[in-house]
A and B are shown apart, each in its own frame.
Chain A
Amino acid sequence: MLQVVCIKQVADTETRVKVAADGRTLDPAGVTWILNPYDEFALEQALRIREAAGEGEVVVLSLGGPGVQTTLRNALAMGADRAIHLKTDAVQPDSLQVARALAAELQGLGPHLIWFGKQAVDDDAAQVAPMVAELLGHPCVTVVAAIELTQGAEGGPAGGQAVIEREIEGAREVVEVTLPAVLAADKGLNEPRYASLKGIMAAKKKPIDEKPVSLGPPALEILSLALPAARAPGRIVGQGVEAVPELVRVLREEARVI
């Protein structure tokens, strides 16, 4: 069974955002780049499915500048078999541009399962997975909290099924899908592994297939990136239990929230 995991390189979650001189994008100076945290859950699940089946291939696919190869290498060290790098100089392509380029590549690969993270923690769009599904005409489940493959899906051919639990407001939807399908992983799906030393060594020899892509026209125009308005400074209303009456008073009379 072939699984492709779409991964994005993003700024570390600890990053203090600085706006670049263009006034529209993140200033990359001093930023540490990581594999998007949600994509780790996606990759981990793909690896577990391959391991449980005892066969199959996990390919990681990323679109971005030359820098994304370090992230692809990390994914190979976790256990992916090979990588594809869709190379572009575009600084911040929008979701539809990315989805179209990924879908074109995926069309040729024909995977049974296409994995994504729930959202990229830089643009927080949570869009690329459902867009790719729509472009390919595949079923899609986002915010995947659990998955079970049924009816010989491990064997590979389309027609296999999966039962998926999807987290929604106050409930879980249990969804049956027929492969090939697009899935977007949520935190809690699993506990991602760390790359082992052996994995890191092996990754050096795994192939990264580099393919230049040209993106379609943008659907969104980014006008500006700015730091949010600072919250008005707060105050310590007091120490210990003695502060409780004052806290209740300010919540009721000043903030009017209780």
Chain B
Amino acid sequence: MAILVFIEQREGRVRSVAREALGEAVRLAAALGGPVVGVCAAAADPGLAALGDAGATEMLLATHEAFRHYEPAGYVRAVVAAVERVKPSVVVFSASSMGRDLAPRVAARLGVGLAADCTALAVEGGRLVATRPVFASKAVQRVAFTGTPAMVSLRPKVFAAAPSQNGAAPTVTPLAIDHDPAAARSRVREVKTTSAGKVDLTEAEIIVSGGRGLKGPENFAIIEALALALGATVGASRAVVDAGWRPHGDQVGQTGKTVSPKLYVAIAISGAIQHLAGMSSSRCIVAINKDPDAPIFKVADFGVVGDAFEVVPALTEAVKALNARS
């Protein structure tokens, strides 16, 4: 049986999370057997043939003028049509904003279960088992599926992207769907960019977050400077967001974003359980805090006890010096 992968595109470009989903689908196919087939909804082909060497044999492409933006009703139709056509054992989405909105709709339509925001997939005794964090990463749940296809969405930045294999390009097959935007009763009027050119927290390789210990919004300049030197995205604790120092989109934690960068630098953040919930799956955690007993040091791989106003600028200079050398 095939494995179907939803290929997410925005503004005509395939998103990096789609490569992660493809990568995991290829690994699953090795255990479950069957080809990997992609399905994409777009206004025009976003260059699916170029994803060919990522391991899929076929790409089903549903095009509609309305698919320039995310159009849930039409996208659901496209994925459901693909499911009916290839009869997959598993459907893989990314747990991005789009995937988290779309996958449950498809699951409800098909009447099957969905394991959302998975951090690992395995095949045990011939069946798919999904591992997913629950209780804001304070516990992990393993789930299996009672129906077919099994549906999963994958947490961004956790799964390795499909490598380029210089294999044969997949065939791109048009997928005919019957979609009437007017009947959908919902339409994306515009997409307002809120952080031009900035990598989103959920997709950032490096995050530098600041907390209440910075004492005021103006002091985020030292955080911004370090982030710039590291090529990082700026995050924040809830205390800072609730004080209005940073926008809501910057909040990391239980009621903010869940992030898994390769490096997370927590500066003047105490490490409340709700903050840890959002960042404890980061690969490497650095904490800079003047209180040696701050709970953040319990999860940090590397800690510096000290005043952020001294340590952070010095760190920025050191990183810049490093960048200049390499």
Contact = CB atoms under 8 A, between A and B. Distances in A.
Nearest to B137: A228
A17 B314 contact: no
B57 interface: no
A257 B206 contact: yes
Given A121-B254, A236-B303, A240-B310, A225 B187 contact: no
B116 A127 contact: yes
Contact residues on B (Cβ < 8 Å of other chain), bracket: 35 or more
Nearest to B229: A258
Contact of A17 (B113, B138, B318): B138
A93 to B, nearest CB: 12
Contacts of B97: 142-143, 166-169
Contacts of A170: 193-196, 198-200
A172 interface: yes
B304 A239 contact: yes
A94 interface: yes
Contact residues on A (Cβ < 8 Å of other chain), bracket: 35 or more
Contact of B284 (A134, A169, A257): A257
B61 to A, nearest CB: 22
Interface stretch (B34-42, B68-76, B172-180): B68-76
Given A175-B189, A234-B285, A220 B300 contact: no
B146 A131 contact: no
Contact of B186 (A95, A178, A224): A178
Contacts of A143: 97, 101
Interface in B95-135: 96-98, 100-105, 107-109, 111-117, 129, 132-135
A174 interface: yes
A122 to B, nearest CB: 6
A231 interface: yes
Interface stretch (B22-30, B163-171, B255-263): B255-263
Given A169-B203, A234-B297, A236-B297, A176 B187 contact: yes
Interface string B274-305: 10010010011110000010000101111111
Nearest to B141: A225
Interface in A150-177: 163, 165-177
A96 interface: yes
A130 interface: yes
Given A124-B116, A225-B134, A174 B302 contact: no
A220 B102 CA distance: 18
Nearest to B100: A126
A203 interface: no
Contacts of B305: 236, 238-240, 243
Contacts of A138: 185
B33 interface: no
A15 interface: yes
Nearest to A175: B188
Contact of B109 (A134, A220, A250): A134
B310 to A, nearest CB: 5
B297 to A, nearest CB: 7
B307 interface: yes
Contact of B113 (A167, A178, A219, A247): A219
B295 to A, nearest CB: 12
A124 B286 contact: no
B139 to A, nearest CB: 5
Nearest to A133: B105
Contacts of B134: 122-124, 225
B239 interface: no
A177 B255 CA distance: 26
Interface string B76-101: 10000000000000000000111011
B185 A181 contact: yes
A139 interface: yes
Contacts of A141: 186
Nearest to B306: A240
B101 A124 contact: no
Contact of B143 (A128, A223, A234): A223
A226 B139 contact: yes
A183 to B, nearest CB: 11
B306 A236 contact: no
29 contacts: A15-B138, A96-B112, A96-B114, A124-B133, A130-B104, A131-B107, A134-B76, A170-B199, A171-B192, A172-B194, A175-B188, A177-B186, A181-B186, A187-B248, A220-B143, A221-B145, A224-B142, A225-B140, A228-B138, A228-B139, A231-B285, A235-B301, A238-B305, A240-B311, A241-B314, A243-B306, A247-B318, A248-B322, A251-B302
